[in-house]
Structure 1
Amino acid sequence: MPNTTTTLASLAADLDSGATSARKLVEECLAKISDASGEGSRAFIHVDKEGAIGAADAMDRLRKAHAVPSPFAGIPVSIKDLFDIKGQVTRAGSRALEEDCTPAGADAPVVARLRRAGFIVIGRTNMTEFAYSGIGINPHYGTPKSTWNRGVGHVPGGSSSGAAVSVADGMAHGALGTDTGGSCRIPAAFNGIVGFKPTQRRVPLDGGVPLSSSLDSFGPLARTVQCCATMDAVLADEPELPVLQPRPVRGMRLAVPTTVALDDLDDEIAKTFERALETLSRQGALVERIEVPEFLDVGAMNAKGGFAASESYAWHRYLIVSKGDVYDPRVHVRILRGEGMSAADYIDLLGARKSFIAHTEARIAPYDALVMPTTANTPPKIADLADDKAFATQNLRALRNCTLINMLDGCAISLPAHREGEVPVGLMLAGAAGRDRCIFELAAGMENVIRG
C-alpha cells in the first residue's frame, strides 16, 4: 500500500528543520525512478535529472537565505506528458508528436505556477496516448503497472497513468495530471492514492494538449487530501495555500445516486463501498440513496462520441492525415468518431449539457456531496485487455462514474476506501461547480474514517 505518512506538509517541516534537503529529496526520487526492479522506466517518458538537481541546489541556497517562495520549495513533483515544459517536446504519450516538433518556448501556466511555488519538476510521466482512455495502456512507451498485485500486472488507470504510479512508488511527492472523464481520479483509485478534479474554470488550460475543451480540467494526484488541496491552490493561483479544517463526519449530508452509478459493480467494489457507507453512517453522517434520472441522459449525449470525439477530432484532423499510421489504433478509432458529427449534432450536445447541468444541480442542491464508487471495476489485468472488446468494456466501466461529474462541470475527489492487503477501491465525493473547497473539507474529514 502506498506510503501516506510522507506528505507535502511533513516534507516541508523536514526541509524547514534541516532534517532533509531539496537535493536529498530529488536524489531519493531519482534513485527510485532508475531502480531497474521498479516502474520508473514505464512511469516516466523523460527524466530531467540535471535540471532537477540544479533546481534543488538553488532551493537549498534560498532556504539558507530564508528566501524560499513557499514552505514547499524543494519538493519534487512529476508532470504529465500532456503539458508544455520550456525547452522540451510535448509528446502527449504519442509517437506522432515525437519527430519534427518544436520544443515548447514556455512552461504551461500550471507548470510555471508549480515552479514559482518552488516545486521541482523531476520529469514527464507516461500516459494514455492523447489522454483518450481510462485504462492507462500505452503501446509506445510501455504501461506502468498498478501497485496492486504487481507480480501479475494490472493496469494503472488512465489517462494519468505514470502520474499516479510516480506518487504511489515515491518517485515524486505529487503529480500534475488532467481529468476529462476521470483521468486523475481513476489512476488514483487504481493505485490507492488521492486524485482531484477541480471545477474547470479555476485552472487555466493553456499549454496542455487538449482532448476536450468542454470537459478537460487540470488537477493533482497526491498521497492525502491536504496534499491535493495544497497543489490545487497553487494550480489555481490562489494567494493563500489552504490548511484544511476537516468537516466532522457527524452531520454530513451525503447522497448516493442509485441511477447508473451503482450498476454492474465488481464484487470487491460493491463490498468496499457499502462498508465505507456503513462506517460513515455509524459516525453520524446522513446517507441517503436517491435517484438521479438525469444521469441516464449522459449515455445518449455520448452516443455519437460526445464532446471528446468531436473536439479531439477538430484538433487532430490534420495530424491524423500525416501521422495517423503511428497512432495507437484504439485511440485513432475513437478520435475518428468525431468525423461523423455534424455542427448541428454539436449544437444539440451543447444544449443537452446545459439542461443536464441545470436539472442535476437542482436535484443535488440539498446535499453536501454525492458519494459513489470512483470506478465500477477493480484494476483489470493488463494481459486480459489484449482483446479490443474486453478493452472497450473495461474502459467504459472505469470511466462511467467519473464522466458524470465532468459532464456536470463539477468537482470531485477520489479517496482510497480499501484496507491494507485488499484490492484498491476509490470512493468519490463530488459536487456542483464551485464546491471545490467544500469537497476538500468533507474529504479531509472522512479520509481516515472510511477505511475503518
Structure 2
Amino acid sequence: MTLSYGSLSIAQLSTLIQGGSVDPVTVAEQVLDAIESHDDKAVFISLTRERAMAEAHASSKRLNDGRSLGLLEGIPVAWKDLFDVAGSVTAAGSRLLLRDQAPAAVDAAVVSALASAGMVATGRVNMSEFAFSGLGINPHFGTPKNPRSTDVARIPGGSSSGSGVAVASALVPVSIGSDTGGSVRIPAALNGIVGYKATRGRYPMTGVFPLSGSLDSLGPLCRSVQDAIWIDAAMRGAMAPTASRRPLAGLEVVIPTNVVFDDAEPGVVAAFEAAVERLSAAGVMFTRLEIPAFAEILQLMASHGALVTAEAYWLHKARITGPDAGLIDPRVVSRTRFGEEITLPHYLDILSARKRLIEAVDRLVGDRLIAFPTVAHVAPLLEPLKTDDQLFVATNGKTLRNTLLGNFLDWCGVSIPCGAGDAGMPVGFLLSGLARGDERLLSVALVAEPVIRGETI
C-alpha cells in the first residue's frame, strides 16, 4: 500500500524528507495528484501546480546540496482563498472578486515567509464568501463535505472550510486560515484536527484580504500542536520555534460557568469533561467561575451590533449596494447590511467597551489559561442549512458563540480534539490564553495535547 504523504503530520513528513527517504518532488506530485482525483471538488478552488513543482524541485536541490532551509523544507501547504499568492486571483470565496480582481502581483507576507522556509504552495482552498460565516457553506464554489461524517453530509465549519477539510481528508498536512470570530478553531473542532489562532497582530497582514481589522487573526490547521508551533515560527520569520514543553502539574486553568455551556449538546459536554478529568489527573488545577464579560459582550452585540459587522459593512458597502450585489451570496449581503444600522457613536461605544472588558478579564484571569468547548455542538447536517434561512442564522450564531468571545477579548487559542459527541462526530477542546500569551499557550498545549486526546494520562 502506497503511503499517502498528505495524511502525515508535518513532523512525520519532515523526518522522511530530511532523512532522504522521500524527495520533495515525489511528495508534491503525489499530493497534487491526490487533490485532483479527490471526490470532493469543493475543497480546493484552484491548484498552483506549476509553482508547487518549481518549489519542490528547488527544495530537492537544496537538500541534495546540503543546504536545507529547516524542518519545513519540502512540506506542502494549502492557502485559504484570502491570501495573495503571486500570479493567481485572491477571490475570498467570491465569484465577484474572481471576475473583477487582477492576479496578485506578489505573495502575501506570510505566504512569502513560508516559501522562504522551504514550503510548497499547493493551491487555494475554499471558504465562506468574504469569510463571513462560521458554517463554511459557499453557494458559488460548493461546500466541502465534512470527512468525519460517513453516512450523511455535514458542514465543515467556517470560514476556513477548505482548510479544515483539506487536512482532515489527508490531502495536505497543513493549511493556513484566518480567524475573525472562530474561523480557524471551528473547522478544526468540527473536523477533528488541531487549529491554532494566534493573537491578533502576531503575523504581518500584508496581502491578506480583510474582514474586520479589529478582529482578524491568522493561524494553521494541522494534525498536532507540534506542527502548529513549527508553522507559527516560520510565519513570524523566526529561525526556530521558541515554545518549549512545560509541566502540567500546578498549571491553573479557568473553566467559565456562564454562556459557553448554554444549550451545549450533552455529548460535547461529556467529551470536554472527560478531558478535564484526564488533565486533573495529570496535575492541572481547574477553577470554575463566572466571567461577567461574556454576557456583556453578547448584550453589547444585541444592543449596538457586532464589531465585525460594522467593519465588514464599511469594507463591502460598495459591493453589496452596487449593481453586482446579486452575484454575492444573499446571506452574506443580508448579514453585512446590518452594519448600516450601526451608528458611529455605537461603533465608538463598542470599541470603548472592548477596551474596558479586556482589562477586566485580564485582571480576573491573571496568569491562568481558559478552557471550554470550542463549539457547543458537533457538525450539523448540511442540507437543511442550505434552504432554511432562519435555521442558518440560528446555527451560525450558536456555532460562533464560544470562539468569538476570544476574538473580542483579543485572546490566542488552540482547539484540540478531545473525543466524540453525537453521531460519533469530533468535539474540540479550546485552550485559550490572554493576548500575547502565545508562547506559553503553545508550550502548555504541546504537553497537554495527548492528555486532552485521551492518548495518555
Q: Is the shorter-chain TM-score for this pair beyond 0.5, marking a shared fold?
A: yes
2:92 maps to what in 1? 92
Contact 2:255/2:370, CA 8 A, preserved across alignment: yes
1:194 maps to what in 2? 194
Return closer, same or farther for 1:102/1:5 CA change in 2, 3 Å cut-off. Answer: closer
**Partners of 1:351 and 1:71 in 2: CA distance:** 43
2:245 maps to what in 1? 246
Give structure 2 stretches of 5+ with no counterpart. none
Read off the aligned partner of 1:185 and give its amino acid letter: R
After the TM superposition, which parts of structure 1 deviate over 6 Å for at least 4 consecutive aligned residues? 2-5
2:308 maps to what in 1? 308
2:335 maps to what in 1? 334
Contact 1:145/1:156, CA 8 A, preserved across alignment: yes
Matched position secondary structure for 2:95: coil
- The Cα of 1:66 is off from its aligned counterpart by 1.3
Read off the aligned partner of 1:174 and give its amino acid letter: V
- The Cα of 1:168 is off from its aligned counterpart by 1.3
1:430 maps to what in 2? 432
Contact 1:32/1:170, CA 8 A, preserved across alignment: no
1:446 maps to what in 2? 448
**Partners of 1:415 and 1:231 in 2: CA distance:** 16
Matched position secondary structure for 1:265: coil
Return closer, same or farther for 1:67/1:379 CA change in 2, 3 Å cut-off. Answer: same
**Partners of 1:130 and 1:317 in 2: CA distance:** 13
2:393 maps to what in 1? 392
**Partners of 1:445 and 1:139 in 2: CA distance:** 40
- The Cα of 1:366 is off from its aligned counterpart by 4.3
**Partners of 1:264 and 1:299 in 2: CA distance:** 15
Read off the aligned partner of 1:296 and give its amino acid letter: A
1:255 maps to what in 2? 254
Contact 2:125/2:162, CA 8 A, preserved across alignment: yes
1:43 maps to what in 2? 43
**Partners of 1:435 and 1:396 in 2: CA distance:** 27
Q: How does 1:31-430 map to 2 (within 5 A)?
A: 31-36=33-38, 38-39=39-40, 41-242=41-242, 244-303=243-302, 304-320=304-320, 321-367=322-368, 369-385=369-385, 386-418=387-419, 422-430=424-432
**Partners of 1:204 and 1:275 in 2: CA distance:** 38
- The Cα offsets for residues 245-280 of structure 1, whole Å up to 9 and x where unpaired, read as 332332221110011111110121111011111111
Contact 2:14/2:72, CA 8 A, preserved across alignment: yes
Return closer, same or farther for 1:204/1:93 CA change in 2, 3 Å cut-off. Answer: same
- The Cα of 1:341 is off from its aligned counterpart by 1.3
**Segment of structure 1 superposing worse, 146-155 or 108-117:** 146-155
**Partners of 1:150 and 1:327 in 2: CA distance:** 31
- The Cα of 1:398 is off from its aligned counterpart by 1.1
**Partners of 1:73 and 1:283 in 2: CA distance:** 35
- The Cα of 1:28 is off from its aligned counterpart by 2.0
**Partners of 2:335 and 2:447 in 1: CA distance:** 39
- The Cα of 1:147 is off from its aligned counterpart by 2.1
Contact 1:3/1:223, CA 8 A, preserved across alignment: no
- The Cα of 1:3 is off from its aligned counterpart by 10
Contact 1:249/1:283, CA 8 A, preserved across alignment: yes
Identical residues among aligned pairs (%): 39
Read off the aligned partner of 2:424 and give its amino acid letter: E
**Partners of 2:151 and 2:35 in 1: CA distance:** 18
**Partners of 1:379 and 1:295 in 2: CA distance:** 24
**Partners of 1:312 and 1:333 in 2: CA distance:** 12
**Partners of 2:261 and 2:100 in 1: CA distance:** 46
Contact 1:375/1:398, CA 8 A, preserved across alignment: yes
Contact 2:180/2:211, CA 8 A, preserved across alignment: yes
**Partners of 1:5 and 1:119 in 2: CA distance:** 16
**Partners of 1:144 and 1:245 in 2: CA distance:** 35
**Partners of 1:207 and 1:322 in 2: CA distance:** 27
**Partners of 1:199 and 1:282 in 2: CA distance:** 29
C-alpha RMSD over aligned residues: 1.7
Give structure 1 stretches of 5+ with no counterpart. none
Read off the aligned partner of 1:98 and give its amino acid letter: L
**Segment of structure 1 superposing worse, 250-259 or 77-86:** 250-259
**Partners of 2:6 and 2:144 in 1: CA distance:** 21
- The Cα offsets for residues 364-421 of structure 1, whole Å up to 9 and x where unpaired, read as 1042x10000001110010121211111111111111111110011100100001699
Matched position secondary structure for 1:426: strand
Contact 2:268/2:420, CA 8 A, preserved across alignment: no
**Partners of 1:434 and 1:55 in 2: CA distance:** 33
Contact 2:8/2:170, CA 8 A, preserved across alignment: no
- The Cα of 1:234 is off from its aligned counterpart by 1.4
Contact 1:212/1:308, CA 8 A, preserved across alignment: yes
**Partners of 1:4 and 1:169 in 2: CA distance:** 8
**Partners of 2:7 and 2:171 in 1: CA distance:** 15
Contact 1:176/1:221, CA 8 A, preserved across alignment: yes
TM-score by length of 1: 0.96
Return closer, same or farther for 1:297/1:377 CA change in 2, 3 Å cut-off. Answer: same
Number of corresponding residues: 447
- The Cα of 1:236 is off from its aligned counterpart by 1.9
TM-score by length of 2: 0.94
**Partners of 1:237 and 1:55 in 2: CA distance:** 18
- The Cα of 1:98 is off from its aligned counterpart by 1.4
Read off the aligned partner of 1:233 and give its amino acid letter: A
Contact 1:178/1:184, CA 8 A, preserved across alignment: yes
